[in-house]
Amino acid sequence: MYRFRDAADADFPLIADFPLNEEEVYYMIPSTTYPLTGEQLRLKAAERGCATVVTDGEEVVAYGNLYDIEEGEQRWIGNVIVRPSSRGTGAAAYLIQTLINRAFESHRATTIRLICHNTNTRALLFYSGLGFKPYDVQPKKRPGGSQIAGIAMSLSVEGQITL
């Protein structure tokens, strides 16, 4: 059974090992470099809010956070990553619903937004299945300079508290 808690400094080195390659690190935190380190994650979490881990028993299986968390209508979900052996198990859905709930309960958000890269088909289908809808496309540069599309997605969360 999944549970969530605030991320602790000791979690970041473990989570840094979740991405399998440079592309996954880019999807998770485009502003960092590969290989990802616990310190990079810790610094990024310090810039954001609601750094959240999902656990299965005592084991950390997923991580994400919120940003642009001043009081107001919208919040952004970012830095989402799931341990490879926990992908496809419901851990990601639990994490996203937890972040939605935290944004709604703690920050009074009514809209949740995120950016998913067009080359991350699995994530695009996942977010769409959770009810996120695309509303904008933004050019993004990958390491090495090639261009891809960042697809901005949005979900209205009023009345959606369900865990």
End-to-end CA distance of the chain: 12
pLDDT for res 161:
47
Cα distance between residue 78 and residue 64, in whole Å: 6
Contact 92, 111 (CB under 8 A): no
Cα distance between residue 151 and residue 60, in whole Å: 28
pLDDT for res 74:
87
Residue pLDDT, tens place only, 101-128: 999 888 888 899 999 999 999 999 999 9
CB atoms within 10 A of CB 80: 22
Q: Domain spans of the chain?
A: 2-156
Residue pLDDT, tens place only, 138-151: 999 998 899 999 99
The answer to whether the peptide bond before residue 143 is cis (omega within 30 degrees of 0) is: no
> Global pTM?
0.93
CATH classification code of 2-156: 3.40.630.30
CA distances, 86 to each of 81, 83, 163 (Å): 10, 5, 18
Token pair recorded at residue 12: 């970041």
Ordered mean pLDDT values, 10 residues apiece, the chain (163 residues): 97 98 94 95 95 98 89 87 98 97 88 96 97 96 92 82 48
The single-letter code of the amino acid at 152 is: A
